[in-house]
Amino acid sequence: MGKLGTGGVIMRKVFVASVSAALLAGVFVISATESAEARRCYTFKASHNGTDMFNPDGAVGTAKNKLLYSIEAWRQEKRIKRVRIGKVRTKCGEWYIMYMLPHHTCTARARVCR
C-alpha cells in the first residue's frame, strides 16, 4: 500500500506541473498575440495605367507615388504616428498602344507595419 500511495503523490505532482506549464504557455501565447495585434502589418497596392511622358520616372514613378499617397491617407485616417514601410516592389506589364500613345500598366506593392 505504501508504494501505491507514493505513486499517486508523484502522479499528482506531475499532473500539477504539466497543468501549470500549459497555463503558463497559454498566457505567453495570448500576450504574444496581443503584441502582434498592435504591430499588425498590411500590404498596400497601387497601379497606374499610362504613358511615361508626364513623370520623369515614368509609369513606375507614378505607381509608387500613388502607393505612398494611399499609405499616407491611411495613416492619417487611423491616426497612426509612425509606420514602417518595407521595400516597394514594382511590376509592369507589356506595352500597348492607346490613343496613339504607348501605354503600360505598372503596379507597386509594399508591406506596411504599425
Using one digit for the tens of pLDDT, what is the confidence trace for 51-110?
767 666 788 888 999 999 999 999 999 999 999 999 999 998 888 888 888 888 899 999
Second CATH level (architecture) for the domain 40-113: 2-Layer Sandwich (3.30)
One-letter amino acid for residue 79 of the chain: R
Using one digit for the tens of pLDDT, what is the confidence trace for 12-31?
555 555 655 554 544 444 44
Strands (E) in 1-114, as ranges, are 41-50, 84-85, 89-92, 96-98, 101-113
Question: CA 8 to CA 114: how far, in whole Å?
Answer: 52
Note the pLDDT of residue 97. 83
pTM for the whole thing?
Answer: 0.61
Note the pLDDT of residue 22. 52
